[in-house]
Amino acid sequence: MHCIVYGVGSFFMFELSEILDRAGIGVEAYINNLPDREPPPGISPVYPATNMELEWLPLPIVLPWVTPGYRKQLVEETRSLGFTNFPRIIDPSSITARSGSYGEGLIINAGSVIGACCRVSRFVLVNRNASLGHDVVVEDFVSIGPGVNVGSKCHLKAGAFVGIGATIAPEVTIGRNAIVGAGAVVFKDVADGSTVVGNPSRVIKSDGLGFNDFSV
């Protein structure tokens, strides 16, 4: 299988390239949708979004962005161009429970573990070595950073961002567009649009738009 990688301005694209290589998926074309931004070095072939080939539209398309709101914007942008095939990209070194459900556009990076009966929704990013306990619900466009540990029966609402190395205790809800800072240990629910940091976590912002000030 070959795919299109759209939005190469993100340096997570290099991580994605590694996942694709391990999964035996080739890249037909890298698309630069930001004409005023140079793509990262060492990738080829790169085409501007203004120079799309019609034969690319049926191909699987993958979006290598970490910020939830950016991913949502790119989904809308690529759908408007005529793309419809957003595959699940799952690193072969990860463990995904067969009792789980997994949405379109999902990316799971190396070494991650998804426990039994999880529901991981559309366009979610689970980064390296993250762990989700059983019966976790992850809504659309959530980003889970490297080394995150999510306890059983947690609920991560749409657009939430969980930073590297954070721990979320069982049965905790992380609100829509909420941010959990790197290394935070969360024992209580986090409200929509809030940012929490520290151990135990504390709220430092309660009216945010989401990670990088971009809402889902």
| Residues 169-204: tens digit of each pLDDT | 999 999 999 999 999 999 999 999 999 999 999 999
Q: Token digits for 210?
A: 């989401």
Q: Pick from 18, 20, 11, 3: which is nearest to 85 by CA?
A: 3
> Using CA atoms, how far apart are residues 158 and 199, in angstroms rounded to an integer?
24
pLDDT for 11: 82
- Distance between first and last Cα of the chain: 30
pLDDT for 8: 86
> Using CA atoms, how far apart are residues 209 and 148, in angstroms rounded to an integer?
22
| Residues 91-122: tens digit of each pLDDT | 999 999 999 999 999 999 999 999 999 999 99
- b/e map of 163-192 (b: 16 or more CB within 10 Å)? bbbbbbbeebbbbbbbbbbeebbbeeebeb
pLDDT for 42: 80
Q: Pick from 23, 10, 11, 97: which is nearest to 60 by CA?
A: 23
Q: Which fold has domain 89-206?
A: UDP N-Acetylglucosamine Acyltransferase; domain 1 (2.160.10)
User: Which pTM was predicted?
Assistant: 0.95
C-alpha angle 210/95/65, rounded to 5°?
Answer: 30
pLDDT for 119: 98
Question: Where do the structural domains in the chain lie, given as residue ranges?
Answer: 2-81, 89-206
Place of tokens 């799971």: 108
Pairing of strands 195-197, 202-205: antiparallel
Radius of gyration of the chain (CA): 17
